[in-house]
């Protein structure tokens, strides 16, 4: 593909830190860059504790385990998301239960949460750079004894309801996968303000071992540590966080300007943004009941446009997680597609992409 969907943006800063980690020989899960990355991250999203781990999926698994969630428990998960939250719930032996997304935010609809006596937690996904309505979710779940987990993997830099992505729930997680806005190649993080929980998270991620007492294993843990080499890249990305977020939002603005008339006059639509949220566009997403010819035309021209994920409620693997219908998740899954979005995507690439969309729509009209 000539214009990829996603691309990493690494500067000399990341390269310098990575080289330093290599030269010092500190390349395992212990080292100063790990500690520094955790400090910078915690400060950036205004949390008391941060633990970086090997990826965003493992971050969710450890968050669930730290909350004691396992067999017999149910966890509410949106029907439209990348699969990780649902898979993490299954991995710890619990059952994901799907909730539909709201047409206004494409995130969990706080009106229709399928709670049961087994519900122990809810994982809200800040989808495609837009926050969940955490305020309404809090109100819906008040007095319910349901833990809130925020999966902010797609929302580095999004702001709303007085807080940034990664600070809205009891536990919040990030991914730093190569396609994410802030990246370390592979990586993740778990954040909380609760020191006991932070202790448990650290222990679970480090062989269930007491930090103060070597080879004294208190719980069955795993090794989910991020390497110091990876964290060195992360420290560089932390310094550039605002610029990386702004660069993607600039790309979104370019798309918005060029597609505005199509949004106004055709059935093409843009991902909605609620008035209480400032989006941090991770992937620019648009939808149309006739998306396939547009995707085909873009791909024929070497542009990596892609249909959004299959709604999880449509996957046979997760049939037991359905409670009723999921009309919004299914419609979006059938209609939405993602356009190339990355820091450094040239403006004339956006021109070309939008011209192809326009031409294809005119031919089909
Ligand atoms: C990318 C992503 C993750 C985790 O990804 P990893 O590749 O495991 O780091 C989790 N949740 C969502 C919503 C994601 O988009």
15/146 Cα distance (integer angstroms): 43
Residue 212: per-residue pLDDT: 87
Residue from 53, 78, 177 to probe ligand 1 pocket by mutation (most atoms less than 8 Å from CB):
177
Across the chain, which has 365 residues, the per-10-residue mean pLDDT values are 96 98 94 98 98 98 98 98 98 98 98 96 98 97 96 98 97 98 98 97 95 91 98 98 98 98 98 98 98 98 98 98 97 98 98 98 86
- pLDDT of 70 reads 98
Other CB atoms within 10 Å distance of the CB of residue 9 = 18
Q: Is the CB of 82 under 6 A from ligand 1?
A: yes
Q: At what angle do helices 195-205 and 56-66 cross, to 10 degrees?
A: 120
Q: Which of 151, 173, 182 to mutate to test the pocket of ligand 1 (most atoms within 8 A of CB)?
A: 151
The sheet carrying 188-192 orders its strands as 49-53, 188-192, 171-175, 147-151, 119-125, 74-78, 95-99
What's the pLDDT score for residue 364? 77
Q: How far is residue 24's CA from residue 231's CA, in Å, rounded to a whole number?
A: 14
**In angstroms, rounded to a whole number, what is the distance separating the alpha carbons of residues 85 and 72?**
17
Q: How many CB atoms are closer than 10 A to CB 16? A: 11
* pLDDT score of 211: 81
* CB atoms inside a 10 Å sphere around CB 117: 5
154 within ligand 1 shell (Cβ under 6 A): yes
């Amino acid at each position: 593909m000539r214009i990829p969907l996603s691309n990493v943006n690494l500067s000399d800063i990341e390269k310098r830190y990575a080289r330093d980690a290599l030269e010092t020989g500190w390349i395992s899960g212990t080292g100063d860059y790990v500690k520094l990355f955790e400090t910078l991250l915690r400060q950036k999203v205004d949390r008391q504790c941060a633990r970086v781990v090997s990826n965003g999926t493992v971050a969710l698994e450890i968050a669930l385990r730290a909350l004691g969630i396992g067999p017999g428990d149910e966890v509410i998960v949106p029907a439209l998301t990348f699969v990780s939250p649902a898979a993490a719930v299954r991995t710890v032996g619990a059952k994901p239960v799907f909730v539909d997304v709201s047409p206004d935010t494409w995130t969990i609809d706080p009106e229709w949460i399928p709670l049961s006596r087994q519900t122990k937690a809810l994982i809200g996904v800040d989808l495609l750079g837009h926050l969940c309505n955490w305020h309404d979710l809090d109100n819906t779940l008040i007095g319910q004894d349901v833990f809130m987990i925020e999966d902010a993997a797609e929302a580095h830099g999004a702001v709303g309801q007085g807080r940034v992505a990664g600070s809205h729930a009891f536990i919040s997680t990030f991914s730093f996968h190569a396609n994410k806005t802030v990246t370390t190649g592979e990586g993740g993080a778990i954040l909380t303000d609760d020191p006991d929980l932070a202790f448990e998270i650290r222990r679970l991620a480090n062989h269930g071992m007491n930090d103060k007492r070597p080879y004294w294993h208190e719980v069955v843990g795993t090794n989910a540590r991020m390497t110091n080499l990876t964290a060195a890249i992360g420290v560089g990305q932390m310094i550039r966080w605002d610029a990386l977020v702004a660069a993607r939002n600039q790309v979104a603005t370019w798309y918005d300007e060029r597609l505005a008339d199509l949004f106004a006059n055709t059935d093409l639509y843009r991902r909605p943004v609620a008035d209480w949220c400032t989006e941090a566009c991770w992937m620019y997403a648009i939808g149309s009941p006739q998306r396939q010819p547009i995707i085909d035309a873009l791909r024929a021209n070497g542009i990596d446009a892609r249909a959004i994920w299959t709604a999880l409620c449509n996957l046979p693997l997760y049939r037991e997680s359905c409670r009723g219908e999921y009309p919004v998740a299914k419609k979006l899954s059938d209609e939405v597609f993602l356009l190339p979005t990355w820091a450094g995507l040239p403006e004339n690439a956006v021109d070309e992409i939008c011209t192809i969309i326009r031409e294809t729509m005119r031919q089909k009209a």
